[in-house]
Amino acid sequence: MIDMLPSFGGFLGTFGAFILALSIIVAIHEYGHYIVGRWCGIHAEVFSLGFGPVLFSTFDKHGTRWQLAALPFGGYVKFLGDADAASGKDGSQISEMTPEEAKRTMHGAALWRRSATVAAGPVFNFILSIVVFAGVMWTQGVAVETPTVGSLKTLPQEQSALQEGDEILAVDGKEVADFGELFTLTDTLDLGPVEYTVRRDGEVTEVTGPFPMPARIDQIHPKSAAMDVGLEVGDVIQTIEGKPITAFRELRQIVEVSEGRPLLMSVWRDGKTFDVTLVPQRRDLPLPEGGFETRYLIGVSGGLFFEPLTETPGPFEAVGYGIQQTWSIVKSSLSGLAHIVTGAISSCNLQGPLGIAETSGAAASQGVQSFVWFIAVLSTAVGLLNLFPVPVLDGGHLVFHAYEAVVGKPPTDRALRVFFAVGLAFIVTLMVFALSNDIFCP
């Protein structure tokens, strides 16, 4: 991982990471509205990144004013005939236009053109997510089918018996055909060093190596107990409450049954040992089959004792992975929201701007890849949120367009003003609620 600026752990770094992530996501979202609107013949008067006083602006050859404003907490595209950034109708301006000029507005263009322009913002957010996820897979590569050692990770114990390029055929006499079988096997293997059957330079041999998934930290999750006490990727947990542990599954099991009690851990890092006390946090986690389960966590993920040998995926495989990952986030987000509304899980799972900012800073502190991944996740969330059928959001506009398609005419201007006022009140209430979660939830 490439580190970002050292200051990313502090307030300025967190704020900067949040603004950078938000600016990228907003710029892509609004550009979707702009470019599709232009393709549909709808003229954009202003493309603004940020709100408030204008710091810089310039006009392009299409007559659109591109500007950077002082408050970097969003952005907007103001189309011809709009009264405001929320695309409210400027009736007086439109009434003075010729029929041909009115067709270049967001209120006089054909319905399908307006709908395409509105939907483009969220769609571009999803496209950004897919591209990022696919790009990460492309640069990281995918593990070859047969479990093969790419490089060995640093551990306290000697592991020179295994070498780079070794193909793992069996573990303690149990055959493994792929990584899925290897991961499954780690739940039932006896603890301690194991015997590996490997193919090396064309010959099959037996070697002794560490437990496949040692109690080594491969990932630190943002806003977690592990991050709070300064644990790092590569740390190895050697004891918990004085009890020696070998495997990551032991760490997971002890934390899960802790009921939130503080745990004293002895940690190995770069040849030195130190103690930390962590307090496991209660979290609601999405299940693959749907729904949620509540578990105690310290915010770490483990992995194999080696980095797998990888190969570059094909473009279709990478894009397919990006689509799958984006859809997975959409499904888990909708499921989580439904469970919050029904009271099945805590409403504290809903983060506000402070929580998102803290998460963005934590992601940035772990490196470029982690931060870029966070941007993709947040972009999916922003795209999904904007599709909710709430007036002032893109989804609300699409509902009005659907009404117009069925009835044959749009809602009256008075009705729209009422709907927008209600929608704005709902959004403000939701933001206040989420902000209170950031402040008061543990």
**pLDDT greater than 80 at residue 423:** yes
- Who wins on pLDDT, 46 or 223? 46
Mean pLDDT is highest, among 85-99, 273-287, 351-365, for 273-287
d(CA 434, CA 440): 10
Domain of residue 238, residue span:
219-310
Q: Which of 28, 217, 36 shows the shortest CA–CA distance to 120?
A: 36
Q: Which tokens belong to 95?
A: 């009434």
- Same domain (yes/no): 195, 242: no
Which residues have a Cβ under 8 Å from the Cβ of 170 and sit 6 or more positions away?
Answer: 176, 196, 197
In a shared domain, residues 223 and 282: yes
Helix-strand-coil split of the chain, %, nearest 5 = 45, 25, 30
- Is pLDDT at 14 greater than 90 in this prediction? no
185 and 246 part of one domain: no
Tally of helices (H runs) and strands (E runs) in the chain: 12, 18
Q: How far apart, in whole angstroms, are the C-alpha atoms of residue 203 and residue 355?
A: 53
Bridge partner list, 196: 171, 207
Domain endpoint, select from 310, 337, 368: 310
Rounded mean pLDDT of 207-227? Answer: 91
Q: For residue 226, what are its two tokens?
A: 């592990």
Q: Amino acid identity, residue 67? A: Q
pLDDT band at residue 9, thresholds of 50, 70 and 90? very low
User: Residue 16 domain-assigned?
Assistant: no
* Helix-helix angle 315-342:368-386, to 10 degrees: 60
pLDDT at residue 86, as a whole number? 64
Same domain as 233, residue 302: yes
181 is catalytic: no
| CATH number of domain containing 167 | 2.30.42.10
196 contacts 163 by C-beta, under 8 angstroms: no
Q: 198 and 237 share a domain?
A: no
The yes-or-no verdict on residue 227 having pLDDT over 80 is yes
Banded model confidence at residue 88, pLDDT cuts 50, 70, 90 = low
- Quote the pLDDT of residue 171: 95
Q: At what angle do helices 368-386 and 111-140 cross, to 10 degrees?
A: 160
Whole-model pTM: value is: 0.85
pLDDT of 5 higher than 70: no
Q: Are residues 195 and 237 in the same domain?
A: no
pLDDT 10s digits, 288-301: 666 677 899 999 99
Q: What is the pLDDT of residue 361?
A: 84
How many domains are there within the chain? 2
- Give the pLDDT of residue 87: 66
Rounded to 5 degrees, φ, ψ at 243 are: -90, 120
| Tokens describing residue 77 | 């595209």
- The stretch 50-61 carries a mean pLDDT of 94
pLDDT band at 341 (very low <50, low <70, confident <90, very high): confident
pLDDT in tens, 134-158: 999 999 898 888 999 999 999 997 6
